[in-house]
Amino acid sequence: MLLSKSCEYAIRAALCLASVETVGYTSVREISEALKTPAPFLAKIAQTLTQAGILRALRGPNGGVALARPAGEITLKEIVLAMDGPDIFTECVLGLPGCGHRKPCPLHHEWMPARERIGQMFGAVTLADTAASIRAQDYRLAFTTAD
Amino acid sequence: MLLSKSCEYAIRAALCLASVETVGYTSVREISEALKTPAPFLAKIAQTLTQAGILRALRGPNGGVALARPAGEITLKEIVLAMDGPDIFTECVLGLPGCGHRKPCPLHHEWMPARERIGQMFGAVTLADTAASIRAQDYRLAFTTAD
DNA sequence: CCGTTTGAAGATAAAAGAGTCTTAAATCCC
DNA sequence: GGGATTTAAGACTCTTTTATCTTCAAACGG
């Protein structure tokens, strides 16, 4: 798969926060219920996102997590980098170390444009962009049995 | 990562067979030496590719594996499907089951074009195409310390 | 101050992926 | 036929990812 489970959950959690537009903090438990993801695992992911400066956290009653910056200033790429690192945006499709312009693998010239397209997509889309379309189109962030 | 290690090795092994242009069979051991990949693991991968009809195998002295069909008739996509299944070509970037035109996730319309581009690339490139550029450009299939 | 709520941090557990090993079966060569 | 070579098949090990559990620290509310 392209993104790790951690990264999928992280993006969905961030979009959840961006789309509800609350003033204060939202508890990890609430988010995990909305996304139908395992709560302890999501707590760990929230921790990573907090350390990366994407979320800020507050302990205690009425505490929880919130976006550290305006949703329009956080790109999906930033979240992917925090969770999975830069590999999908930089690595060789055949896993050959040092593959690049100077020492390409046989697929480099085929793969590079596709890889750059992926990078551009994640880099261009902000949480605000996606949150807006979630609200406008009622897009889902969790599995639903409803048709 | 986009492709599993098994799949990376499988593509490199297939390209190795396509580019050397031998008449008979090549042993898995020889291929693993050329690619610098673990031999027992590659043997298992070769087995999967044989069962998928991409390679044919012959036991005994002077035995080994060979492409089951002309290199021009085997696409990279076929190898990816045999090793990793169809997920990268079909699955939702957020891992939401049932994501599609009728029930899209918030990123569906951003992700789909990128995903289709990946599918087209793997579907369009044959082993013969890539083997030709390996021979013409001396592209490498293994890690080399040489500059 | 005390109890409750909530995230932080680290240890632990389960599952999947990556890689190895052993035995068996087929093929070749003498 | 017998020994050597090579893939087939399955069990097994190791590592990483995914997920859980426990303890601690911070914040709030009475």
pLDDT of residue B22: 81
- Kindly indicate the confidence band of residue A109, based on its pLDDT and cuts at 50, 70 and 90: very high
Tell me how far CA of residue B26 lies from CA of A137, B20, B98, B119, in angstroms: 56, 10, 43, 30
Percent of chain A with pLDDT over 90: 93
CA-closest candidate to residue B21, choices B79, B71, B74: B71
DSSP letter string, chain B: --S-HHHHHHHHHHHHHHHH--SS-B-HHHHHHHHT--HHHHHHHHHHHHHTTSEEEE-STT-EEEESS-GGG-BHHHHHHHHH-SHHHHS-TT--TT-SSSS--TTHHHHHHHHHHHHHHHHH-BHHHHHHHHHHHT--SS--S--
Coil, strand or helix at A95: coil
pLDDT at A147 over 60: no
Coil, strand or helix at A92: coil
- The reply to whether the CB atom of residue A69 sits less than 7 A from any atom in nucleic acid chain C is no
Q: Work out the average pLDDT over B40-62.
A: 98
- Mean pLDDT, chain B, whole residue set: 96
- The reply to whether the CB atom of residue A104 sits less than 7 A from any atom in nucleic acid chain C is no
pLDDT at B147 over 60: no
- The reply to whether the CB atom of residue B24 sits less than 7 A from any atom in nucleic acid chain C is no
**pLDDT tens track for A15-42:** 999 998 788 999 999 999 999 999 999 9
CB atoms within 10 A of CB B1: 16
pLDDT at B63 over 90: yes
Residues of B in contact with A8 (CB under 8 A): 93-95
**Cross-chain residue pair B3–A141, CB shorter than 8 Å:** no
Task: Report the gap between the CA of B86 and the closest CA in chain A (Å).
Answer: 10
* Pairs from A57-63 (Cβ < 8 Å, separation ≥ 24): A57/A25, A58/A25, A62/A24, A62/A25, A63/A25, A63/A27
pLDDT of residue A30: 97
Q: Work out the average pLDDT over A49-67.
A: 97
Is B116 part of the contact surface with chain A (CB cutoff 8 Å)?
no
Could you give the CA distance from residue A101 to residue B8 in angstroms, rounded to a whole number?
20
pLDDT at B113 over 90: yes
**Cross-chain residue pair B93–A117, CB shorter than 8 Å:** no
- Kindly indicate the confidence band of residue B100, based on its pLDDT and cuts at 50, 70 and 90: very high
- Kindly indicate the confidence band of residue A95, based on its pLDDT and cuts at 50, 70 and 90: very high
**Cross-chain residue pair B95–A15, CB shorter than 8 Å:** no
- Kindly indicate the confidence band of residue B118, based on its pLDDT and cuts at 50, 70 and 90: very high
CB atoms within 10 A of CB A126: 19
pTM, full prediction: 0.94
DSSP code, position A71: G
> Token digits for B32?
């693993």
From the CA of B115, how many Å to the C1' of D29? 51
The answer to whether B115 touches B107, Cβ cutoff 8 Å, is no
pLDDT of residue B146: 58
- The reply to whether the CB atom of residue A44 sits less than 7 A from any atom in nucleic acid chain D is yes
Q: Work out the average pLDDT over B9-19.
A: 98
Q: Which residue is nearest to nucleotide C29 (CA to C1')?
A: B61
